Amino acid sequence: MSEKKSHGLGDQIANSEKYQLPSQAPMTSEALKEAEKVKSELEDFKKKVVKKFPSILALAILPAPSFKMFEEDEGLLAEEVARKPLHLMMVVPEDDYKDIQKKIKPEVLKLVQDGKHNIWVHIKTPVDVWNYGLDSKFDFIDFVASSYPLHDKGFLGALRVASIHKTLVLRKFEKYVASYVVGGSLVRGTADKDSDVDTFVVIDDTDVKKMPRLQLLEKLRGFIYDYIREATALAGVKNILNVQVYLLTDFWQSVKDATPVIFTFIRDGVPMHDRGTFLPWKLLLKMGKIKPSPEAVDTFMKYGDQNEALVKRRLIDAMVDIYWGVVTPTQALMMLAGHAPPVPKTIVADVRKEFIDKEKIMDQKELKTLEKVVGLYKDYEHGKLQSISGAEIDTLLKEAADYDKKLKELRKKLETRLIEHTADRVYEEVFGLLKNIFGAGSKHELIEKFERELVKKGKFPSRYVPIVKAVVTLGDKAKQKKMSQNDLDAIRRDSDDLITKLVEYMQRKELVTLEKGVIQLTYAGKIGELVLTSKGVFFVHQGKIQRVSDHLAESNAKELEEALRETKESTLKLKLEAKTLRVLGKELGEFELNL
């Protein structure tokens, strides 16, 4: 009788059978002797290489099944392949990249020839290894991870534990792993034998219909975290494997909401497995197409630097280039101030309102330059501007250069203010959540309760304690200008992670009291959820949140969370009014309540 296959992610999770690694056939005595012989022969070679280049990160024997792939990748000649060499992987620090061809490779080749070894040494930097992932050559990374180490400062061990864990996750959840990504010190090439290994798993949950997202995420984490111990034992390393698990629907929402943690993850991470999800986002971020992100702001600000070269090339087209050189950095500055990039039609009015009337950091002179270029471009679009003289272009170019220079000064002022505003916001969010959890109290009392009630009882890792304490001093440091943007970004990333965990903790508590206040419904082949609160009924579906009134009105996660927080078990009336059902019928058509 054939085994019943899983038909969805929910079925995969429901399968309680513990995953077992396929048994491996034991090595024969002849194979063991051959392995020891090879290791012995290469011991002298290894010692000479390490003595000659003490900075190398790793030297290892690649698995035999990978020989053909690496030979084709590096373009070995037929006669070289015919010698059937043993292939070694040598990983050197990124700083030594410039010396590989002129110094390292000739010296290694001389050691190979002097020792009369039939080996081929592939000399790579960590960036070369990660480029395999960026080129979707994931098998190459796996082969490097499974190579037999002759010398390792920690790079191979850290890579090995991540690769084994990835394999365990993939074999359990099959096609539902959208991306498995590694980041942190391992990607930077600075990992040693004690470094943490940071990985991220994105699970495609789009086919889940019956299980609430929070419950699904908790179950997934249970499985995936269980594999950490197994992978660590199999890898035989001391490195701590830190795994972050994301649902694809939540991850996509975080990308759209410009969540700092996710942007860092996309920017710095390297995929060890990807089904066309992570790499496109990484390329879009690099292109500055995901906004508002620091990368997008920097990309737009640089447009102003292009003016002079473009003006020399053409006249009427130069005016258009100057226009974009003024408008695009202005849009970037508006984004930095926390606004959506204004359209050209309203940009002058928006800039006047934000930077002259409100912030008072821009002069009328700069605004007139913006008005001038916008007016010229409108005339060009409407066919009123047929030509423009070189003298006018020179004048316009100078005004635009002065304008761009001024914008850079304004950016520094804005960033200083934003550091203060962000510091205040982080403080308010963290301690606002702590007050919602523990009730009113001084910041020191709240920290003490956080440590006593959540950390010491094992509900939160101890690493969050210094984060909470650091948030206390944020405002003072920002006002005294003792904090750089990089310092703030580092604390903000940590605090965003803390905020997420606090919100999840609150949601878990609320889920216990409100689970009967969540009603699932089916409509047009889709699934949605009605959430009953003391502040009204909310409809959650396809990543959208709407409030049910006389119609389905747009809402958001913040409004829903506030309604849930204010809803008390004693005051919750689990009553679904006929009016609500009529509105749903009008908006959705036929639907069915899954009670």
CATH of the domain at 195: 3.30.460.10
Residue pLDDT, tens place only, 41-72: 788 899 999 999 999 999 999 998 999 999 99
Is there a contact between 454 and 460 (Cβ–Cβ < 8 Å)?
yes
In the DSSP assignment, the letter for residue 340 is P
Tokens of 437: 């959890």
* Together in a domain, 283 and 317: no
* Together in a domain, 354 and 414: yes
pLDDT of amino acid 432: 81
Tokens of 384: 């009123």
Residue 472 corresponds to which amino acid? V
- Domain annotation covers residue 477: yes
The percent of residues in the chain predicted with pLDDT above 90, rounded, is: 21
- In residues, how long is the chain? 595
Quote the CA–CA distance of 221 and 183 in Å, as a whole number: 19
Torsion angle of C-alpha atoms 45, 51, 52, 55, degrees rounded to 10: 110
Q: 88 by DSSP, 3-state: which?
A: strand
Which residue's structure tokens are 């864990």?
Answer: 165
Measuring CA to CA, how many Å separate 236 from each of 155, 160, 539?
Answer: 13, 9, 49
* Together in a domain, 308 and 442: yes
- In this prediction the pTM is 0.47
Q: Judging by DSSP bridges, how do beta strands 119-124 and 86-91 pair with one another?
A: parallel
Q: Exposed/middle/buried for 467, CB within 10 Å: 0-12, 13-18, 19+?
A: middle
- Average pLDDT (365-389) is 84
* Together in a domain, 472 and 530: no
The range of the structural domain enclosing residue 524 comes to: 514-594
Task: Please give the residue that has the higher pLDDT: either 457 or 576.
Answer: 457
pLDDT of amino acid 488: 67
- Domain annotation covers residue 499: no
- Average pLDDT (518-545) is 83
* Together in a domain, 330 and 283: no
Closest residue by Cα to residue 563 from 579, 583, 546: 546
* Together in a domain, 141 and 237: no
Last residue of a domain, one of 242, 257, 289: 289
pLDDT of amino acid 264: 81
Last residue of a domain, one of 267, 289, 311: 289
Last residue of a domain, one of 225, 255, 289: 289
* Together in a domain, 471 and 345: yes
- Domain annotation covers residue 377: yes
Residue pLDDT, tens place only, 140-183: 999 999 998 999 999 999 999 999 999 999 988 877 889 999 99
pLDDT greater than 80 at residue 306: no
* Together in a domain, 325 and 452: yes
- Domain annotation covers residue 19: no
* Together in a domain, 215 and 305: no
- Domain annotation covers residue 189: yes
- Domain annotation covers residue 501: no
- Average pLDDT (472-497) is 70
pLDDT greater than 90 at residue 188: no
Closest residue by Cα to residue 193 from 235, 158, 147: 158
Is there a contact between 217 and 500 (Cβ–Cβ < 8 Å)?
no
CATH code at position 45: 3.30.460
pLDDT of amino acid 123: 94
* Together in a domain, 371 and 478: yes
Is there a contact between 334 and 350 (Cβ–Cβ < 8 Å)?
yes
Please report, in angstroms and rounded to a whole number, the separation of the first and last CA atoms in the chain. 36
- Domain annotation covers residue 26: no
Where do the DSSP E strands lie in 92-173? 119-124, 148-152
Mean pLDDT, rounded, of the chain: 81
pLDDT of amino acid 429: 80
Structural domain count of the chain: 4
* Together in a domain, 184 and 259: yes
The percent of residues in the chain predicted with pLDDT above 70, rounded, is: 83
- Domain annotation covers residue 507: no
Residue pLDDT, tens place only, 397-448: 898 888 888 888 888 777 777 777 777 777 788 778 888 777 778 888 888 8
Residue pLDDT, tens place only, 218-272: 888 888 998 999 999 999 998 999 999 989 888 887 777 666 677 788 888 999 9
* Together in a domain, 331 and 470: yes
